[in-house]
Amino acid sequence: MGKEVVEFAKEVGAIDLKSISDYSGHHVLFKRRNYFLLNEKNFLIVKISRSKIRPFWGLGKKFFDFFNSITEQSGNYFFVALVSNTSGWVLSKKDILSQISSESLSYSENQAQYKINNYNLRDCYGFTTIERFFRLVKR
């Protein structure tokens, strides 16, 4: 299931946070290979939906808090909701905060995670090529 995530990260040149010594103290947080450094100040949270019937992507509260904290002064993070290793949607920190503020992202207390559903993923966030992904990240 995570094969697409790793392939996508490799394609965009992102580095797994587990392999960066600055983040080695957070190994317990990064159990799976879903968290990457895209460049000096931009992080990626890359997920693939586990449900084919009603796709959704989860953003755990502890990861949300962590990435907000490390990008508080500078930098940004992006949530990538993958469909394949070259297509999906990308939401910036600003997009996520806006959707949380407007209560359009649902929050599960039991799972302590925000759920990003299809209706949260407008066409303007979509990409079907790596080139389009990079254009969205630079907007």
Q: Along the chain (139 residues), what's the average pLDDT of each consecutive run of 10 residues?
A: 86 87 60 84 91 85 92 94 93 94 91 88 93 92
Angstrom distance (rounded) from CA 63 to CA 58? 10
Fold exhibited by the domain 3-138: Trna Endonuclease; Chain: A, domain 1 (3.40.1350)
Angstrom distance (rounded) from CA 67 to CA 97? 12
Give residue 118's pLDDT: 83
Closest CA to 8 of 61, 49, 45, 63: 45
Q: Look-up: residue for tokens 């697409």?
A: 4
Segment holding 138, helix H or strand E: helix 130-138
Give residue 1's pLDDT: 47
Sequence spans of domains, the chain: 3-138
Q: Looking at residue 5, what DSSP letter applies?
A: H
> How is residue 92 written in tokens?
């910036």
Give residue 25's pLDDT: 57
